[in-house]
Chain A
């Protein structure tokens, strides 16, 4: 019975339908003026609009009537794909409706966000096998990609911002990925052994946990600031460090701060993972004649792995966002566009930073999910951990 009443995809369906009827995009003559707000129905025109509304009713009725769970999930998948196609189609329609202006553009409004969000949730709830997921993604993205590649996306505001600074955008994107990637790798290289040490020895464990907890309470802005002064001093004192690019601003303090932030979930989860190994398993391992080293590699580590990987996942997703703040101390990254956009009151420029940020975060989260399924023994219970 529980299967019959899945609230989340149902809510997503309503969200999709509502998004179609809410303001979808504004047609503007340039970056700063208020434009003409249109909803999906207005953009699609009376004929296609009516078809869309009727389809939505049909799908909702279908979900209520269908008793077969797997067929209902197929319907979610179809609805998710349609929601995504609709987003692309409406954007293109809006682009075609633009009339003149210095830099005419289509600015997304609430409906533009609602439709892909609904699509994401619906697709998420339809998943069965990994292969089907890939096919679904291709089916979903292909028409949208074709439309945009066909030059019809030109008018969309974010693309305008993008085409104005393509080169810069890709540079910052790479800087961003490199920065958060290096931070997570350093945090893992430091944090996992630290977590293992901390769980072996209380005298190490207590100060380590106190330290990583304390770091987490410092706001990221303050932490970047705190690191600037000592690094600047070091750089002045030691020319060698300066030659290596270590200064008060730039990549070095950002990397240190990001690493310190990523440390907490990693250390915490490593400790929790090793603490979760039941005494009976340790007793059994020793009793069967394993050495301490064998016990660790054959029993404790594989059993702690779900926690450890979940910690890495949390740290990575957080680091993607934190890295945006690093732009403030000159480390570069997608944050540049966000803060420039804030400074110039240009929401489209902010979006140019935020949209890839969200996509990277989702991609990183999904990749860890994939790795967790690959590496963690299926005999272990992942309940209570976000798998």
Chain B
């Protein structure tokens, strides 16, 4: 399923919440909408499921103008995780997750099976959580239920409005990792709203930055950190170069394509690489930190198995940070 905003505008009283937004999301893509609070992210998102009617312009789902689709019909086939979780407090966790299948009048057995499957998918054992009341859940558990509820009827499109906003950074990272795992198997078309740049970089296939209702930039995460536009530079912060290095592996910098792995995160030291060397699956940010720590300008690059691959120098890091290296 594809999505598209075409010159969409929305004004509340006299404030332009969304100003001439044109943007496309392709099938299976995870697009992150990011920007300061009040810049129009939620409003843009709600245009897709018709919770907000654009004043002018249009929104298309799979090439079809959404204003021609009955609102309830449209919404039952678009997963929606709302900003403040918004679980129904008077319904059990299972009933919350079953909300859309019930609207679609599924058979009871089918609903029960689906609820169990989904709770287990989002890491909440059904035996333990199905009958729980939302008020008893922790912030992280509530957000998982919110995601499960959105996925219930297996919609091809998922709208997520700051879905992990209300939890501590540690839980947030766990939720992000699990969401990436789920998304890698489901392959939904996702619009993901956040105001957390690290989250955007970690999750997004592309990142759309909004400012005062307008689209300021759309780019893959690596490119975005190289964007010279003053607002984008300011938004991505003083440590944008470090963020860029955090996205690249040592292997990529020395011409040996290597994905960053969880083990690579722990860098050389403990994970078995000898002193003065760095694993190819570590990030360049970690490599820089190790150089600074050791007072060296170069490190041996070794494979995760410990085989020597080449040399990583400060010049490699400078080049990567400047962005001449393809990301």
Contacts and interface: CB of A to CB of B under 8 A. Distances in A.
Interface string B56-84: 00000000000000011111110010111
B137 to A, nearest CB: 11
Nearest to B146: A284
Contacts of A278: 84, 86
Nearest to B99: A288
B135 interface: yes
B231 interface: no
Interface in A294-324: 294, 298-299, 302-303
B91 interface: yes
A280 B83 contact: yes
Interface in A240-294: 278, 280-281, 283-291, 294
A380 interface: yes
Given A280-B85, A289-B103, A290-B103, A379 B80 contact: no
A381 interface: yes
A380 B100 contact: no
Given A283-B51, A286-B75, A379-B134, A294 B103 contact: yes
Contacts of B90: 302-303, 377, 379-380
A381 B209 CA distance: 40
Contact of A299 (B49, B82, B88): B88
A378 interface: yes
B135 A283 contact: no
A298 B90 CA distance: 10
B89 A287 contact: no
B87 interface: yes
Contacts of A299: 88
A288 B73 CA distance: 10
Nearest to B74: A289
Contacts of A377: 89-91, 133
A291 B76 CA distance: 11
Interface residues of B, number: 28
Contacts of B89: 281, 303, 377, 379-381
B80 to A, nearest CB: 4
B243 interface: no
B149 A288 contact: yes
Contact of B87 (A284, A287, A294): A284
Contacts of A290: 72, 99, 103
Contact of B82 (A284, A294, A298): A284
Interface string B129-172: 00001110000000000000100000000000000000000000
A381 to B, nearest CB: 7
B133 A378 contact: yes
Given A289-B100, A289-B103, A294-B103, A284 B86 contact: yes
A286 B99 CA distance: 11
B210 to A, nearest CB: 20
B84 A280 contact: yes
Given A280-B82, A281-B86, A288 B51 contact: no
A377 B131 CA distance: 12
Contact of A283 (B86, B99, B133): B86
A58 B91 CA distance: 48
Q: Looking at chain A, what size class is its interface with the partner chain?
A: 20 to 34
Contacts of A378: 133
B176 interface: no
Nearest to A282: B86
Nearest to B77: A289
A301 to B, nearest CB: 10
A378 B132 CA distance: 10
B92 interface: yes
Interface in B212-256: none
Given A284-B88, A302-B90, A381-B135, A289 B82 contact: no
A280 B89 CA distance: 11
Nearest to A377: B90
A281 B82 CA distance: 9
A298 B86 CA distance: 14
Given A280-B85, A283-B82, A283-B86, A288 B103 contact: yes
A292 to B, nearest CB: 9
B52 to A, nearest CB: 11
B88 to A, nearest CB: 6
B80 A291 contact: no
Contact of B135 (A285, A286, A379): A379
Given A379-B134, A379-B135, A381-B135, A288 B76 contact: yes
A277 B117 CA distance: 30
B82 A287 contact: yes
Nearest to A299: B88
Contacts of A302: 90
A289 B73 contact: yes
Given A280-B83, A283-B51, A289-B100, A379 B76 contact: no
Nearest to A379: B133
B218 to A, nearest CB: 25
A289 B75 CA distance: 5
A358 to B, nearest CB: 35
B75 A280 contact: no
B72 A289 contact: yes
A279 B263 CA distance: 43
A294 B72 CA distance: 11
A288 B85 contact: no
B162 to A, nearest CB: 12
14 contacts: A278-B84, A278-B86, A280-B84, A280-B85, A281-B86, A284-B86, A284-B88, A287-B51, A288-B75, A289-B74, A298-B88, A299-B88, A377-B90, A380-B90
Interface of B: 49, 51, 71-77, 80, 82-92, 99-100, 103, 133-135, 149
Given A283-B51, A284-B82, A379-B90, 15 more contacts: A280-B83, A283-B86, A288-B99, A289-B71, A289-B76, A289-B103, A302-B90, A303-B88, A303-B89, A377-B90, A377-B91, A377-B133, A379-B92, A379-B134, A379-B135
